[in-house]
């Protein structure tokens, strides 16, 4: 079984499965906020730090297990008076919010304040995808949960590494089929009921909290949006609203690696409240493309639980049966039967930002 | 010659020995340090060359005025101290 990589407010925790169950095996960067970690096909790990004083940093661990700090994206010089640029958007890296690798080895990084960067040399150097950054439409994006927009989801098509879908809070879903030369917004069908009526369906202001594509069927995408859950079966050209019990609000979503109809969500009370419905942690699972859901509670706290699961904090193992998620209050749960039953692995971790399997 | 010293908290991330450098302004002194250690730049300055929001620089015991341009003047024996601002938590 793969290791479990848990990024937290106070470091990176790696967990390993033994016959006795899951347990913490090692701790890295203790004391430093780790916003996310991603493994890549070459056996490396990339860890994104968000140092409170000294900025966002990136470390790479090679197959020998040695961590080394590598390069970070640097935004170009900001021209004065960029038309339509919001005052809060300073062209400077604040945070890594997505790191993904395509089958051609290209690393892609999504950031706050909304830039997409790529690296062809394992993160030593990065270049801004200027076609996306310089679009006038980009300046319509705004912050969701942060002062500035954040590009948090990158789905690289496993069939063709030039095709990417990226999602932005708040800036909709964008698609390129030429490795970032040109972009199309693809948010038709999404709506934002919280916006003024004439802006509800504006694709440029949609707030997808997290977007995942099914690895075996990459034209099927799921989005946990601020306003609900949306699913696309046509490579994001159109989106359909899905009703999820007990609430359509949440941040995280996971999709089965082979079955695009199977997905998991961790619902919460919407907007200002942001705690589990009835203070009971549940996972909602569909196996029929969103027509129906099971609300899974076994092993999860059902009284006075105030855990929020952040957008990168739900992980699906490539087996499709082993799942893990972590919460804002440092709880970590694992299921080995696709969510039917959960085991609490830890109740004492720092606030959990991201969970993935190594 | 002005000196530049860094908070020991930076030592967790990279070596930051005290340096004596040529420089008539804060930027001049910092650039001289970064020329010797390029990796340090991103810890102190943001992408636009301004002081990071949660980094503070003192010159002879006084906080710098020009956090963007770093034009504050240095004397021949000025002591520049770079530290984490408490606003950063």
Contacts of B34 in chain A (CB under 8 A): none
Is B60's pLDDT higher than 70?
Answer: yes
Task: For residue A356, give both structure tokens.
Answer: 């993935």
Tell me chain B's radius of gyration from C-alpha atoms.
12
Q: Which residue of B has its CA nearest to A52?
A: B88
Chain B CB contacts of A29 below 8 Å? none
DSSP A196-209: -GGGTT-GGG--EE
Q: Is the ipTM of this complex over 0.90?
A: yes
Q: How confident is the model over A37-83, as pLDDT tens digits?
A: 999 999 999 999 999 999 999 999 998 899 999 999 999 999 998 99
Residue B89 has pLDDT above 70, yes or no: no
Query: In whole angstroms, what is the distance from residue B58 CA to residue B82 CA?
Result: 7
Interface of B with A in 19-78 (CB under 8 A): 39, 42-44, 46-48, 52, 54-55
Tell me whether the omega of the peptide bond preceding residue A179 falls within 30 degrees of 0, making it cis.
no
Per-residue pLDDT, A125: 98
| Nearest CA-CA distance, residue B4 and chain A, Å | 17
pLDDT digits (tens, 9 = 90+) for A187-213: 999 999 989 999 999 999 999 999 999
Candidate from B48, B52, B85 with C-beta closest to A55: B52
Q: How confident is the model at residue B15 (pLDDT cuts 50, 70, 90)?
A: very high
Contact predicate A171/A138, CB 8 Å: yes
Mean pLDDT for all residues in chain B:
95
Neighbours of A193 (CB within 10 A): 9
Helix H or strand E encompassing A145: none
β-strands A263-265, B55-59: how paired?
unpaired
Domain boundary assignment for chain A: 96-347
A90 and B55 within 8 Å at the Cβ level: the answer is no
Q: What is the pLDDT of residue B88?
A: 63
What is the distance between the alpha carbons of residues A46 and A38, in angstroms, rounded to a whole number?
Answer: 5
Provide the pLDDT for residue A194. 87
Show the low-confidence residues of chain A (pLDDT under 70). none
Of B39, B47, B88, the CB nearest to A75: B47
Identify the residue among A54, A68, A96 best suited for mutation to test binding to B, counting B beta carbons within 10 A and taking the highest. Answer: A54
Give the CATH H-level superfamily of domain B3-88. Answer: Beta-grasp domain (3.10.20.30)
Q: Answer whether B10 touches A (CB < 8 Å).
A: yes
Nearest CA in chain B to A94: B46
Work out the average pLDDT over B58-86. 96
Which of the residues B44, B47, B48, B84 would you substitute to probe the A interface, choosing the one with the greatest number of A C-beta atoms within 10 Å?
B47
Tell the CATH topology of A96-347: Methylamine Dehydrogenase; Chain H (2.130.10)
Asked if A53 lies within 8 A of B84 by C-beta distance, the reply is yes
Place of tokens 């010159």: B59
Looking at residue A1, its pLDDT comes to: 77
């Amino acid at each position: 079984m793969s290791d479990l990589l848990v990024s937290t407010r106070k470091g990176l925790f790696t967990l390993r499965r033994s016959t006795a169950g899951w347990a913490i095996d090692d701790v890295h960067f203790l004391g430093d906020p780790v916003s996310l970690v991603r493994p890549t096909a070459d056996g490396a790990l990339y860890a994104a730090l968000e140092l409170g004083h000294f900025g966002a940093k990136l470390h790479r661990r090679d197959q020998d297990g040695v961590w080394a700090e590598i390069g970070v994206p640097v935004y170009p010089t900001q021209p004065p008076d960029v038309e339509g640029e919001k005052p809060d958007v300073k062209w400077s890296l604040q945070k890594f919010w997505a790191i993904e690798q395509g089958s051609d080895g290209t690393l892609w990084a999504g950031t706050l304040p909304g830039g997409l960067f790529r690296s062809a040399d394992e993160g030593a150097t990065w270049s801004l995808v200027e076609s996306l950054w310089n679009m006038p439409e980009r300046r319509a994006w705004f912050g969701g949960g942060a002062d500035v927009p954040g590009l948090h989801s990158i789905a690289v098509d496993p069939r063709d590494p030039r095709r990417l879908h990226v999602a932005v809070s708040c800036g909709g879903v964008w698609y390129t089929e030429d490795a970032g030369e040109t972009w199309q917004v693809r948010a038709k069908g999404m709506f934002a009921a919280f916006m003024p009526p004439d802006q509800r369906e504006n694709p440029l202001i949609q707030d997808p909290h997290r977007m995942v594509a099914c690895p075996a069927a990459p034209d099927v995408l799921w989005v946990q949006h601020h306003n609900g859950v949306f699913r696309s079966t046509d490579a994001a050209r159109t989106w359909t609203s899905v009703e999820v019990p007990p609430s359509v609000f949440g941040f995280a979503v996971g999709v089965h690696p082979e079955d695009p109809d199977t997905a998991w969500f961790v619902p919460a009370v919407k907007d200002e409240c942001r705690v589990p419905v009835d203070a009971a942690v549940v996972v909602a699972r569909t196996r029929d493309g969103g027509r129906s859901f099971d609300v899974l509670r076994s092993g999860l706290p059902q009284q006075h639980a105030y855990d929020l699961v952040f957008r990168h904090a739900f992980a699906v193992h490539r087996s499709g049966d082993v799942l893990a998620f972590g919460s804002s209050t440092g709880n970590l749960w694992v299921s080995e039967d696709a969510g039917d039953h959960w085991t609490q692995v830890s109740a004492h971790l720092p606030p959990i930002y991201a969970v993935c399997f190594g | 010659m002005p000196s530049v010293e860094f908070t020991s908290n930076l030592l967790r991330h990279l070596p930051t020995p005290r340096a004596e450098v040529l420089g008539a302004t804060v930027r001049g002194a910092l650039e001289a340090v970064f020329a010797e250690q390029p990796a340090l730049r991103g810890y102190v300055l943001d992408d636009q060359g301004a002081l990071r929001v949660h980094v503070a620089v003192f010159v002879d015991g006084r906080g710098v005025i020009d956090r963007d341009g770093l034009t504050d003047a240095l004397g021949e024996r000025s002591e520049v101290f770079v530290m984490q601002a408490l606003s950063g938590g």
